[in-house]
Amino acid sequence: MKSAGLDIGSRTIALVVIDDAGVVAATVQDTTYDPIAECRALLAEHSFDSLVATGYGRHLAAEHFNATPITEIKAFASGAAHLRPGCRGVLDIGGQDVKVISVNERGRVADFEMNDRCAAGTGKFIEVMAAALGYKIEDFGAAALNAESLVKVNSTCTVFAESEVVSLIAKGEARANIAYGIHDAIAERIVAMVTRIDLAGEIFFAGGAARNQALQKILAEKLNARLFVPENPQIVGALGAALSGA
Amino acid sequence: MADNRQMWEKLGIDMEAHDALLGAIPALVEETFMRQENRPAKMDFFDFVLGDIHGIRVHELQEIKANGGKVIGTFCVYVPEEIILAAGGTCIGLCSGVDIGTAEAEKVLPRNICPMIKASLGFKMTKTCPYFESTDLVVGETTCDGKQKAWEILGEMTPTYVMELPAMKRDSSRRLWDSEVAAFKNAVEQTTGKKGTDDDLKKAIAKVNGKRRALQRLSATRQADPVPISGTDALLIEQIAFYDDVERFAAKTNELAEELEARVAAGEGVFPKGTPRLMISGTPMAVPNWKIPHIIETSGGALVVEESCTGQRYFRELVEESASDAMDAIADRYLKTDCACFSPNDERIENVIKLAKEYNVDGVVYTSLMFCGPYSVEYNKVKKALDAAGIPVIKIDTDYGMEDVGQIKTRIEAFIEQIKETVPAS
């Protein structure tokens, strides 16, 4: 039996196919303006017996591909529990939302927090800020780690922070220092969410932003906790979806 | 309908803006109500009222006015309807559940204020609510900072009377409230030109209690599993209660309740037995705000009770009919209302837990309109009590906009998944 999980997020689509032996396929690609066409092409490349969809586009996939929808919350909890047995806390920074999930001893969701309506502190925010400072997204974290000092950035609202960054540049601040400030501001916001639900022990860090080394380091410091970043943090939701269909 | 348009024009309605407002309703009604399965037959009256929302009842108001009657608009469940009826007036709830005239309202109000206040002034300023334009007097109250300051501005646009509501429930608060209820009676009688006698008050008490009893009866059927009516439909009825004719509404609600009782007896419902049962607790939802109930009931949940002003807070308490002093009995009943504007407000906390148990609730969706200080802050105490009782809760802060529907749906679906995993299937 092959079970497929499809995670249609705001920025990327991930597909994971598993069988009894483990993962047989795992891919990540851009969502684009036409996620259904992207999914159709992606699904055509793989064979599977069941399909579970999660992410922002889960209901669209349910309608078009006869997939069973589950929420990202459930998908990330079971994906993380599978990759890191015994894991009790999950942080996912996705394209346009941030989820903090506490997981019970059976690998199920015990409680969760999720940002509402605004993209503050999400992957999209990181992208916009990197662009405002002229960095490629993959270099942004390393730049922040090379900063000489921290420049305080007060806002995590994409619109306000962009103008804050513009005025910091105008003041002659080194862009690496501003980059550090941006990462620090995101981490502050995440810490506030994490402390609202009691996460115990190591935190499983998923989503595209988990690849960012500066975020990994600053979050670990501020949370005073060990972070575990899986080999491919962008497929955790799709894996969880596949597992729930298996 | 042609005679609707004529009436609206006569009322000075801004026809273009009003057409745009009403134009959005049919699709919303179709999506929210008509696609539900197995609806009770006796919803037909309420669907009919909804289908002609600015028509038939507004015509009735014009007829009342033509015969010398007065229409009094209110924004809060603290305003005693009995006093208005006893003085020969007609009471209409004016709260708005749609963003209307935001740009106009923001000329006089700050941007970051509760959407209900903003829309109330927005309706008046854009002349798009025929109910508002039919009123002879509107009544505000001091339930929150935003409202009590907004009335000063509304008072420049239309005759406005403000009741002072105490913020606590001490003996001195009760004395203040007694005097406010008496002063309100005078103000209403000045508008209607008719004095409400003791006998008039007693008749009005019986009439409004009749409406409350009908709503209580309907609500009680929702304790059954499977639930015989959707929460989305029940909310609509609770909303219509604010502006329909009192006796007709009670009669129609009783007819529906009878049908629901038969459904319960036959074990019939609108969702499968064992569907996770949710309660809404928090701020009111005025027409056409059906956002959260619709999300709940299209995400695998059943909404079984509303702990809100458009719900239990409106009909839970009756006015004592055998009391010798009718005014005292009225003051007594209204001060029992457990709005978050009171401090402390332990009655509400106790009531949330009591309702959760009575309705066998699996989880609570705590809803707070954006920028509503009282309900948003009171969440802390409600959550503590729910945690202690082992009842899961999720808090949703939102307004009338639709841009956050995707994220709210994800959160509510996840909440329901979480409930399903912890509650053994029955």
Domain locations in chain B? 2-198
**What is B2-198's CATH number?**
3.40.50.11890
CA distance B285 to B96: 8
- Which residues of A fall within a CB distance of 8 Å from B397? 116
Surface-to-core class of residue B155, CB atoms within 10 Å of its CB (0-12 exposed, 13-18 middle, 19+ buried): middle
Look at residue B1 in the predicted model and tell me its pLDDT.
60
What's the average model confidence in pLDDT over A65-75? 96
Q: If you count them, how many residues does chain A have?
A: 246
Among chain B, residues having any CB pair with chain A shorter than 8 Å are 396-398, 403-404, 406-408, 410-411, 413-414, 417-418, 421-422
* pLDDT tens digits along A180-235: 999 999 999 999 899 888 887 899 999 999 999 999 999 999 999 999 999 999 99
- Mean local confidence (pLDDT), A93-119: 87
pLDDT of residue A119: 76
User: Which residues in chain B show pLDDT less than 70?
Assistant: 1-2, 423-426
Edge to edge, the sheet with strand B70-74 lists B89-93, B70-74, B137-141, B160-163
pLDDT at B328: 98
Task: Please report residues of B whose CB lies closer than 8 A to that of A109.
Answer: 414, 417-418, 421
Interface test with chain B among A63, A98, A116, by most B beta carbons within 10 Å: A116
The closest alpha carbon to B100, from B79, B126, B80, belongs to: B126
User: Is A116 within 8 Å of B411 when comparing Cβ atoms?
Assistant: yes
Higher pLDDT among residues A154 and B42, named by residue: B42
* Cα nearest neighbour of A54 on chain B: B410
The reported pLDDT for the residue numbered B37 is 96
pLDDT at position B425: 46
Does the pLDDT of residue A77 top 80, yes or no?
yes
Quote the CA–CA distance of B29 and B37 in Å, as a whole number. Answer: 14
How high is the pLDDT of residue A118?
Answer: 75
Average pLDDT over residues A72-93: 95
Distance CA B80, CA B302 (A): 32
pLDDT given at position A100: 95
pLDDT digits (tens, 9 = 90+) for B246-263: 999 999 999 999 999 999
Integer Cα distance of B257 and B266 in angstroms: 14
Choose among B398, B404, B417: nearest Cβ to A71: B417
Cα radius of gyration rounded to whole Å, chain B? 21
Return the residue of A nearest to B404 by Cα: A117
Radius of gyration of chain A (CA): 18
Q: What is the pLDDT of residue A158?
A: 80
Q: What is the ipTM, given to two decimal places?
A: 0.88
pLDDT value for B426:
44
